[in-house]
Amino acid sequence: MFPTRLLRSSTVNASEIAHFSRLSSEWWNERGEFSFLHKMNPVRMQFIREKLLETAYDEQAEEAVDTKKARLLEGLDVLDIGCGGGLLSESLARLGARTTGIDASESNIAIAKHHASLDPRLGENLIYKHAAAESLLAQSKRYDVVCSMEVLEHVDNPAMFLKTCAELVKPSGHLFLSTISRTPLSYFLTIVMAEKILREVADGTHTYSKYIKPSELLDFFQTHRSTVEGDGTLTQSRAWITRLYSGEPTRKEAEVRGMIYNPLSSSWILAPRGAWGAAECNYLFWVRKPASEE
C-alpha cells in the first residue's frame, strides 16, 4: 500500500515512494540516529511557546493572554528553514500555525511530506517546499515566525544565511535559531562523545569550525538593520539589538537559552535564563525584528 495522497497529487512513481518510506523510517525512527533531535523537539517548542506568550503579555492585557491555549500559533505564518524530516514543522502546524517547511534536500522534503500524510489531523496548514531560503526572498511573502533549528552549524556562509532569515521575518516578527557554540565543551560533547565514542550521532555530522558562539549572533544582530520601505523611499530600521548590558541583550530584543542534555534520564532540559555556563554547548536563540516604524 502506498499513500494515495502522494500518488494522486503528483507523478511520483511507486519505487520512489518505497525508497522515501525507507529513509523516512530513519528520520522518524525515534530510537535511531535522530533520537537526540526527537527528544530536543519538545524543548524547542517549549521555548517558542514561552517566548511568544511572554511577548503577548508585554503587548496585551493580562486577561487577553490564554497561556493554556493549545492552538497558540493559530493565524500566524510560520517558516521552518531546513525542516529536514519535518520534526519541528509538524509540531508548529499542530499548534495551529500556517506552516511552510523548506529544505535544500529534495529527499528530505519527500520524507517530510510522506510523514505528514500519515497524520490525518495535520490539515492544509502544513506545506513543504524543496527550496533554499534565498529563493524565498524573491516572493513578497514574509512570516510572523521564522525558525531554523540546528541548521546554522551546517551552512557555508552563516552571515549571508542569517541575513536571509532576518529578511524573511515580518516587522515585529520573531526569529528562532538553535545551534551549537564553539567551545572546548561542545567539541568534547558533540564530536568526541556523540560521534566518536557513543556513536549516537553519525560520524561527520558536525564540523567544529562551523559552530557559532552566542556572542557572535549577538554581535551580528547589533549591527544588523532591516530595510524599511516607506513611500518610495528606503530607510534603515534601528539595529535588531540596540545594546548589551554586561554581555546580555534586553529581554524584549533577544535571548540566549542553553539546552542541556541529561544522559541519566536521556532527556533535554531548557536551562533557566542566564544560567551560568548553560549555553556552552547547545543553545536556543531568539531575536525580534523591530517594528516597521522603529
Partner 1 sequence: MFLSGNGARLLSKSLQRTSPNRLLRYFSSAHEDFDVVIVGGGPAGLALACALGSKAEIQSALKIALVEAGDLFKVRDWSSPAGSFSNRVVSLTNASQTFLKDAGSWDHVELERTAPIEEMQVWDGISDARITFSASEMGASSDSHSGMARLTETLNLQRGLLRQLQSLPTVQILEKNKVQHITADETPGGWPSVHLDSGRTLKARLIVGADGPNSPVRSFANIASYGWSYDTQAVVCTMEHSPRGPFLGPNTTAYQRFLPTGPIAFLPISDTASSLVWSTRPALASAFKACEPSVLARMINAAFRLPDVSMNYLHNLILESHEAGRPITEEEISAEILWREQSHSIDYTSAYSSTTPEAFSENRIPPSDAEMLPPVVTSIQPGTVASFPLRYNHAESYIGEGQGSRTVLVGDAAHTIHPLAGQGLNLGLGDVECLSRCITEAILRGGDIGAYTSLLPFTRERYLENHKIMSACDKLHKIYSTTSGPIVQLRSVGLEVLNELDSIKAAIMMSAGSVSRNDHRPLSYNSEARTTMFDIAAKCVENLNTATRVAQAAGGGLTGLAVNVLQNMAKAAASYQNPSKP
Residue ranges of alpha helices (H) inside 172-282 are 184-186, 214-223
Query: All 3 cell numbers of residue 29?
Result: 525512527
Which residues, at least 6 apart from 79, have a Cβ–Cβ distance to it below 8 Å? Answer: 99, 100, 102, 136, 143, 145, 146, 147, 168
Q: Which of 11, 64, 121, 156 binds partner 1 (CB under 8 A)?
A: 121
**Residue 267 touches partner 1, criterion: CB under 8 A:** yes
3-state secondary structure of 184: helix
- The CA distance from 240 to 292, in Å, is 12
Q: How far is the CB of 242 from partner 1 (least distance, A)?
A: 27
User: In terms of CB distance, is 87 or 152 closer to partner 1?
Assistant: 87
Which residues, at least 6 apart from 119, have a Cβ–Cβ distance to it below 8 Å? Answer: 90
Q: Which helix (H) or strand (E) holds 41?
A: helix 35-59
**Residue 260 touches partner 1, criterion: CB under 8 A:** yes
Residues 41 to 60: which contact partner 1 by CB under 8 A? 41-43, 45-46, 49-50
User: In terms of CB distance, is 40 or 180 closer to partner 1?
Assistant: 40
Q: How far is the CB of 3 from partner 1 (least distance, A)?
A: 6
Q: Which of 221, 240, 268, 283 binds partner 1 (CB under 8 A)?
A: 268
Q: Which of 12, 16, 19, 38 binds partner 1 (CB under 8 A)?
A: 38
Its sign, for the CA torsion 151, 152, 158, 161, is positive
3-state secondary structure of 180: strand
Q: How far is the CB of 92 from partner 1 (least distance, A)?
A: 6
Residue ranges of the annotated binding site for Mg(2+) are 150, 153-154
Binding site for partner 1 (CB under 8 A): 1-3, 21, 24-25, 28, 30-31, 35, 38-39, 41-43, 45-46, 49-50, 68-72, 90-95, 115, 118-121, 260, 262, 265, 267-272, 275
